[in-house]
Structure 1
């Protein structure tokens, strides 16, 4: 152990003595290591971005979607089925449950400055925003106390908000709705436009607000539910939840449970893995080229150190000590370059967020530890490979030839 520590100290002293040579030879290594770490970090960012985009449509990982209809053509008891589901959710300790209806066929109109504009109506509970990572352009989503308001809350689409004159939500603007839902509503939030030039004009209400005014859904409309179970419990809870709901609903109601979340579509994960593999191979090739350059520089430098090695051998340094010292010079140097490269990668990642090149996510992944470890291991590995041949040359130097040189 003391021999290894001594060789490590000698290697570090040699690196300090030849700062310029070491700096020039390790720039490529540092850049390559930074590229590897950045690629792995970018892979984590892309994975999280894909997850959040998927969550906005299918719900967070392990979200169970529940739908139901009567097989005998009768009217559905939506309130009773909702009560059964809430009971089951309490039994399984499921905190996030939402009703949803993406399009209500009942005509609804919004009072504009000079006319009534027909709009689409959607229904969703407060937990919908959690399950779907709903982002808003302004204001907020529903919360548990909103149902008690005299002027019920409403979330409007971005296009409708613009058509209303983009009112400041801090002033508690109101919205007059006609038709079956006639009344005055308070605008609490504005949905983000789904794409550039999005002109969809719709309102989102709490289901309880809708039923308080319309009482029942029309025959052409239907409610569905979503329950965020979590990936660790979904395989266990899913079948039991289905069995309990079907038993409570009775033989004339068909209850369907399904998943459309990120975790149920492994092809998305495969796309991210392909990106990581492709860019990782490219960064690895760059690192390998940097290692080859390091080998050439070290071989040339070794010819200049033949006398030094001969003197050390004449004073009793063993071949193993010489080999270990030369090898560790490269390993220590590339390890330092690896640390510098990782620091550069972290700085670059933060700069990309600061200058808006990368869009901030709801759950921005921190710089991944595995990226730093892999990049550092790659740097040390290439240092060991690059140092092996020069170390072998140093061991084969004969004392008398070295001193004569």
Structure 2
């Protein structure tokens, strides 16, 4: 008997017992679907987490960690901004550096009419705006003229609009920062994603920020290299340059956010593997259900097996028939489970705000694994069927 004939017989047997076949496949469907959902959401969450940590490409965060001698010499050193304007100009001259993103942040009280709120007030340079791509929901973004002219204009976060303006349109309204009037020209889009936390923020051109708060230094500096290959070189040169300019040894250092993201990615991969393994237990349970129902099928079809063997069917042919039937049952369940997992992961990812990464390797693995389950858990029933005595089988009632 050919493979196709065995396949047709298997489909005919499953069709004859529709409800039983569906209930048996349900365990495989849920198992395969659960594994795909966990892997897809895990990989999507990992990709989103990495992108949130690293930000735009080819960037390195610089930080300042004073030595013990510096701290003893100046106990208030942590209250001072570590980067000066001449530092930014010097970093921009490095051949490997594409641009230097600089900003200063301070906690401040903002007032509109009779209402006040505590905000994070950030002065940014134009490179910051280019790299971080602050997206405006209402009004307009900061322009080159705003930066060059030090205009008293600001962007505010969506959360601040809700708190200070009670959801009303704030464009053109005047707010007060450090007793200085500032015009609101834009409202930023509401943040989405894994690390999206609504916070109350105000963004100003750095020249404006400097005038309001009386400080010309920067608290955060990020350098962007021309290419990924130059990233490490740019970081080393930048740290060496700043340490030389400030007469320090290793106080100025760099943080490669991509390395941190890789470490975080390894943690998420382990968590995905663990949770995926737990979800895989349902596949094992489904396989037991397949074995159970195939044993019932062998018992019900004892006379049929006896007739086939009396007509010349070999033990191997009977074994193959029941193995193919078991594989067909799990294969159909696996395919349906793939569609279930794919659809569910897309829905979950849509509401969670991160991509659903269903790779072809996962889909292929789901199909092959379900077929393997059919073989493994179908061997015992198939072997039992092939060992039946033809004469005793024909007498079976």
Does the 8 A contact of 1:109 with 1:119 survive in 2? yes
Does the 8 A contact of 1:111 with 1:175 survive in 2? no
CA deviations over 1:176-199 (Å, ceiling 9, x no partner):
55769x565343124869868x6x
Does the 8 A contact of 1:298 with 1:390 survive in 2? yes
Shift of the 20–148 alpha-carbon distance from structure 1 to 2, 3 Å rule, reads same
Does the 8 A contact of 1:103 with 1:120 survive in 2? yes
1: CA distance, partners of 2:126 / 2:314: 74
Query: 2:183 maps to which residue?
Result: 185
Query: 2:334 maps to which residue?
Result: 338
Query: 1:288 maps to which residue?
Result: 284
Shift of the 251–149 alpha-carbon distance from structure 1 to 2, 3 Å rule, reads closer
Does the 8 A contact of 2:346 with 2:356 survive in 1? no
1: CA distance, partners of 2:220 / 2:125: 11
Shift of 1:18: 3.6
Q: Determine if the alignment matches structure 1 residue 365 to structure 2 residue 359.
A: no
Moved more, 148-157 or 315-324: 148-157
Shift of the 184–309 alpha-carbon distance from structure 1 to 2, 3 Å rule, reads same
CA deviations over 1:172-219 (Å, ceiling 9, x no partner):
324355769x565343124869868x6x5x5221335546x579845x
1: CA distance, partners of 2:274 / 2:132: 31
Q: Secondary structure at the match of 1:365?
A: coil
Does the 8 A contact of 2:41 with 2:349 survive in 1? no
2: CA distance, partners of 1:99 / 1:122: 10
1: CA distance, partners of 2:225 / 2:48: 21
Shift of the 383–124 alpha-carbon distance from structure 1 to 2, 3 Å rule, reads farther
Does the 8 A contact of 1:62 with 1:261 survive in 2? no
Query: 1:101 maps to which residue?
Result: 104
Structure 2: state its 5+ residue gaps.
75-80
Does the 8 A contact of 1:122 with 1:205 survive in 2? yes
User: Which of 228, 234, 238 is residue 233 of structure 1 equivalent to?
Assistant: 228
2: CA distance, partners of 1:312 / 1:274: 51
Q: Secondary structure at the match of 1:222?
A: coil
Shift of the 110–269 alpha-carbon distance from structure 1 to 2, 3 Å rule, reads closer
User: Which of 376, 380, 386 is residue 371 of structure 2 equivalent to?
Assistant: 380
CA deviations over 1:232-272 (Å, ceiling 9, x no partner):
936x5313442267459855455733226364166633543
Shift of the 323–141 alpha-carbon distance from structure 1 to 2, 3 Å rule, reads farther
Query: 1:303 maps to which residue?
Result: 299
Q: Secondary structure at the match of 1:226?
A: strand
Query: 2:390 maps to which residue?
Result: 399
Moved more, 43-52 or 292-301: 43-52
Q: Secondary structure at the match of 1:317?
A: coil
Structure 1 length as normaliser, TM-score?
Answer: 0.73
Moved more, 221-230 or 23-32: 221-230
Shift of the 404–125 alpha-carbon distance from structure 1 to 2, 3 Å rule, reads farther
Shift of the 136–397 alpha-carbon distance from structure 1 to 2, 3 Å rule, reads farther
Query: 2:36 maps to which residue?
Result: 37
Does the 8 A contact of 1:176 with 1:183 survive in 2? yes
Name the count of aligned residue pairs: 378
Shift of the 127–323 alpha-carbon distance from structure 1 to 2, 3 Å rule, reads farther
1: CA distance, partners of 2:35 / 2:58: 32
Shift of 1:301: 0.8
CA deviations over 1:261-285 (Å, ceiling 9, x no partner):
3641666335433432332232222
Structure 1: state its 5+ residue gaps.
none
1: CA distance, partners of 2:339 / 2:369: 15
Query: 1:168 maps to which residue?
Result: 169
Query: 2:11 maps to which residue?
Result: 12
Shift of 1:295: 0.9
2: CA distance, partners of 1:327 / 1:244: 66
Shift of 1:325: 2.2
Does the 8 A contact of 2:63 with 2:255 survive in 1? no
Structure 2 length as normaliser, TM-score?
Answer: 0.74
Shift of the 227–6 alpha-carbon distance from structure 1 to 2, 3 Å rule, reads farther
